[in-house]
Every structure is written in C-alpha cells, then in structure tokens.
C-alpha cells in the first residue's frame, strides 16, 4: 500500500511541477500580451508579416519566460518537499509557496530580462500564486505518500460502563 502510494507520488509531483510551470508561463504571457505583440510587430518587416513574426518571436519569448519560471521553481521545490514530508494538503500552503517562491526568484535570483517582462514583480507573484494553485489541483491535495487520502474512520470505542 505504501509502496504504491510512493510510486504514485513519484509520478504526480513532477507532473504537478510541470503543470505549475505551464500555468505560470501562460499567466505571464497573458499579463504581458501587449508587450508580446509589440515585440512581434517590431520584428515584422511589413504589416503582412505579423503572423510570421508571431510564429518566430512567440516561442522565443515563451522560452525566456519558461527559463525564468524554472529558476523560480528551486524555492518552490523546497516547499513541495516540506509538504510531501509532513503531508500538508492545504491549498493555502501551496498558493503561498508559489507566491513566495516567485517573489524570491524575482528579487534574489538573477533573472535575465531581454524583454523587460519582470519589471513589475506583482505580475510575477501572481504567476506564482496561479502556479501554486495549479500544483495543488494536480498533486498537492493528496500530499504525503505515507498518509492515506481516503482513510477509513476508526471504530468508536464502546461507551464506558
């Protein structure tokens, strides 16, 4: 039973981390959509090349955001390890872990800023909060391989005579 839960956790935790990074990337792209399209239009030679410029600039900007999100995952991995060790299943813990990890990664980490996507740390913290919630939805609600999720209630002791 415990070995099976451990194997499930070994699959769910990386999946949750990947979904969290994807959520943070989508959040950052949505928050910076105007800047994203301005870079694409800037790379276009004519107005007819906007679609081609989006196809070229889009993956590059997404890669920059993804590398930064992965750099912010190091502090988040510490929080995930604590949650798994102590079977902390609270969504508040995981959301706070995501927000604090993003804030820490933005202020302390050396985040490359070729397109100035990180000049407003509030957007980065919002992306961390969204990523923390996404992680909780996928893997955090059942944290801790040694503590069953749906435990049978123990039998009530007989009444004292």
Q: What angle do CA 123, 124, 128 make, to 5 degrees?
A: 115
Cβ neighbours of residue 11 closer than 8 Å, sequence gap 6 or more:
none
**Is 131 exposed, middle or buried (CB count within 10 Å of its CB: 0-12, 13-18, 19+)?**
buried
- Of all residues in the chain, the percent with pLDDT exceeding 90 is 20
The string of pLDDT tens digits covering residues 107-118 is 775 555 555 666
Map tokens 């070995």 to a residue.
Answer: 3
Break the chain into its structural domains and give their ranges: 7-142
Interatomic CA distance for residues 124 and 118, integer angstroms: 7
Maximum mean pLDDT: which of 22-26, 94-98, 105-109: 94-98
Q: 117, 17, 6: which is closest to 70 by C-alpha?
A: 17
pTM for this predicted structure: 0.74
Q: Which of 40-44, 65-69, 104-108 has the lowest mean pLDDT?
A: 40-44
Say yes or no to pLDDT of 45 above 70.
Answer: no
Q: What is the pLDDT of residue 115?
A: 54
Residue 134's alpha-carbon distances to 53, 99, 102, 148, in angstroms, are 31, 12, 14, 21
């Amino acid at each position: 039973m415990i070995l099976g839960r451990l194997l499930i956790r070994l699959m769910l935790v990386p999946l949750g981390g990947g979904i969290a990074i994807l959520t943070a990337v989508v959040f950052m792209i949505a928050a910076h959509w105007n800047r994203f399209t301005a870079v694409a239009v800037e790379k276009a030679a004519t107005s007819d090349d906007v679609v081609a410029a989006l196809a070229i600039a889009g993956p590059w900007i997404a890669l920059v955001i993804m590398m930064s999100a992965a750099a912010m995952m190091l502090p988040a991995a510490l929080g995930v390890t604590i949650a798994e060790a102590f079977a902390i299943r609270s969504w508040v813990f995981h959301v706070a872990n995501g927000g604090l990890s993003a804030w820490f990664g933005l202020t302390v980490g050396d985040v490359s800023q070729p397109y100035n996507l990180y000049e407003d740390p509030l957007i980065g913290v919002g992306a961390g909060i969204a990523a923390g919630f996404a992680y909780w939805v996928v893997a955090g609600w059942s944290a801790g391989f040694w503590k069953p999720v749906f435990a049978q209630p123990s039998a009530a002791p007989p009444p004292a005579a």
